[in-house]
C-alpha cells in the first residue's frame, strides 16, 4: 500500500495518479475539515482508497499509515493561520511522532530548495525543521526538494491580465531562478517511492526543477504571448512587499515569512544544495502551465458573466 498525504493537491494528485496507472494500491489521505467531496470522488474514481486524518493528531496520522509499504508526506503551509511557522511546527511534530511509533519501510517527504539552511529563509526554515526532525525516523528516507512551483503565478494572474502589470518580488527582473511544474514533482515522487534502491544510513536528497530557469521578464513575455494582451513585469519595491502581501490576505507573520524568503531568493540562497543532492529535471515547460492557468481563469470569468 502506498499512502499519499495531501492527495488533493497538485503534487499529491499527480503522485497518486502515477501509482494507480502503474497498478499499485494507493490510500489517498485528505486533511480533515474544509474540503468538498469532489476531490475525494475524483481520487476514488481512479481506484484510490480514501482516508481522512487530522495532520495535527499523531494517532490519526498513525492510523492513516497503517499497513503502508511507502508513504509520501508533506506539511501544508497554513495560509489562513495567524502564526503559520508555529502551525507547521506542530504538524511536523505530530507526523514525526507517528512515523517514529510505527515507521513505514519507505518514507518520502516533500521539501523545498533552500531547506539545508537553518535560518534566514523565511517559510523555508520550516522545511529545514521537517528534514532535521525526520532524520530520527528509522525508515528508508528520501527528501524531495522542489524549486518554486510555476503555478504560484496564479495568485497574480488576474492583476496581470486586468492591468497589464505582473508584480514580482524576484529582483532584479532579469535574474533567472529555478522553477518547476507540480505535476513533474508528483510524478518524480511516485518514481522515487517505487525505486528499489537499497536503504541508506543517511537520507537520500533529490532536487527537481525545470530544464530551463526563468526570470520575471520571461514570465511576463510568456503571459503576453499566450493571452494576446500586453503584460509587463514590475519589480515591487522592497519597502512595499509587506503591505502588498497583507493586501493579498496574508497575516502579518505570514507576510514576514514571505518577505524573508524572497530576500533569500534574491541573495541566491534558494537553490540546489551544492554537492548534496541528486538533480532531476522536469519536462513541463512554463508556457504549458501558464496556458492551463489562463484557460482556467477564462473559464472562471465566463462563469461569472453567465451568473450575472
The residue with greater pLDDT, 285 or 197, is 285
Q: What is the pLDDT of residue 111?
A: 97
Q: pLDDT, tens digit, for every residue of 208-259?
A: 999 999 999 999 999 999 999 999 999 999 999 999 999 988 999 999 999 9
SS3 188: helix
Among 12-16, 63-67, 299-303, where is mean pLDDT lowest?
299-303
Residue 34 pLDDT exceeds 60: no
Helix H or strand E encompassing 292: helix 286-307
Residue with cell 488533493: 8
Output phi, psi for 166, to 5 deg.
-100, 105
Residues 75, 17: Cα–Cα separation, whole Å: 20
C-alpha cell at 135: 532524520
Q: What is the pLDDT of residue 31?
A: 84
SS3 216: helix
Segment 149-159 shows an average pLDDT of: 93
Residue 15 pLDDT exceeds 70: yes
Q: pLDDT, tens digit, for every residue of 166-193?
A: 999 999 999 999 999 999 999 999 999 9
Q: What is the chain's Cα-based Rg?
A: 19
Is 196 within 8 Å of 106 (Cβ atoms)?
Answer: no
SS3 120: coil
Residue with cell 517511492: 193
CB-hemisphere CA count at 13 Å for 266? 18
Q: pLDDT, tens digit, for every residue of 101-152?
A: 999 999 999 999 999 999 999 999 999 999 999 998 999 999 999 999 999 9
Residues 242, 238: Cα–Cα separation, whole Å: 8
Q: What is the pLDDT of residue 298?
A: 66
Residue 79 pLDDT exceeds 90: no
**Residues above pLDDT 70, as percent of the chain:** 94
Residue 53 pLDDT exceeds 80: yes
Helix H or strand E encompassing 30: strand 26-31
Grade residue 200 by pLDDT with cuts at 50, 70 and 90.
confident
Domains of the chain, each with CATH number or no CATH: 2-148+178-209+271-284 (3.40.50.720)
Which residues make beta-bridge pairs with 143? Answer: 109, 205
Residue with cell 528516507: 141
Chain centroid, CA 90 distance in Å:
18
Helix H or strand E encompassing 86: helix 84-101
Amino acid at each position: 500500500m502506498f499512502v499519499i498525504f495531501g492527495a488533493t493537491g497538485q503534487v499529491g494528485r499527480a503522485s497518486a495518479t502515477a501509482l494507480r496507472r502503474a497498478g499499485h494500491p494507493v490510500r489517498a489521505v485528505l486533511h480533515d475539515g474544509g474540503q468538498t467531496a469532489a476531490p475525494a470522488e475524483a481520487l476514488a474514481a481512479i481506484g484510490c482508497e480514501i482516508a481522512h486524518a487530522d495532520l495535527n493528531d499523531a494517532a490519526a496520522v498513525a492510523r492513516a499509515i497503517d499497513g503502508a509499504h511507502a508513504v509520501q508526506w508533506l506539511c501544508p503551509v497554513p495560509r489562513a493561520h495567524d502564526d503559520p511557522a508555529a502551525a507547521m511546527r506542530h504538524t511536523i511534530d505530530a507526523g514525526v511522532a507517528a512515523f517514529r511509533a510505527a515507521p513505514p519501510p519507505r518514507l518520502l517527504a516533500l521539501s523545498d530548495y533552500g531547506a539545508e539552511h537553518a535560518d534566514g529563509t523565511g517559510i523555508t526554515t520550516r522545511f529545514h525543521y521537517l528534514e532535521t526532525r525526520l532524520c530520527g525516523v528509522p525508515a528508508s528516507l528520501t527528501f524531495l526538494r522542489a524549486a518554486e512551483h510555476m503555478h504560484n503565478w496564479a495568485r497574480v494572474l488576474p492583476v496581470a491580465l486586468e492591468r497589464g502589470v505582473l508584480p514580482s518580488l524576484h529582483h532584479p527582473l532579469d535574474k533567472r531562478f529555478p522553477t518547476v511544474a507540480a505535476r513533474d514533482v508528483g510524478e518524480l515522487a511516485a518514481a522515487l517511492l517505487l525505486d528499489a534502491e537499497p536503504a541508506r544510513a543517511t537520507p537520500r536528497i533529490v532536487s527537481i526543477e525545470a530544464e530551463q530557469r526563468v526570470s520575471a521578464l520571461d514570465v511576463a513575455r510568456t503571459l503576453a504571448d499566450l493571452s494576446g494582451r500586453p503584460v509587463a513585469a514590475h519589480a515591487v519595491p522592497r519597502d512595499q512587499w509587506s503591505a502588498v502581501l497583507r493586501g493579498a490576505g496574508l497575516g502579518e507573520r505570514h507576510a514576514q515569512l514571505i518577505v524573508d524568503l524572497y530576500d533569500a531568493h534574491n541573495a541566491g540562497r534558494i537553490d540546489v544544495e551544492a554537492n548534496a543532492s541528486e538533480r532531476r529535471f522536469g519536462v513541463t515547460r512554463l508556457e504549458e502551465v501558464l496556458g492551463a492557468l489562463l484557460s482556467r481563469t477564462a473559464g472562471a470569468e465566463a462563469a461569472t458573466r453567465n451568473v450575472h
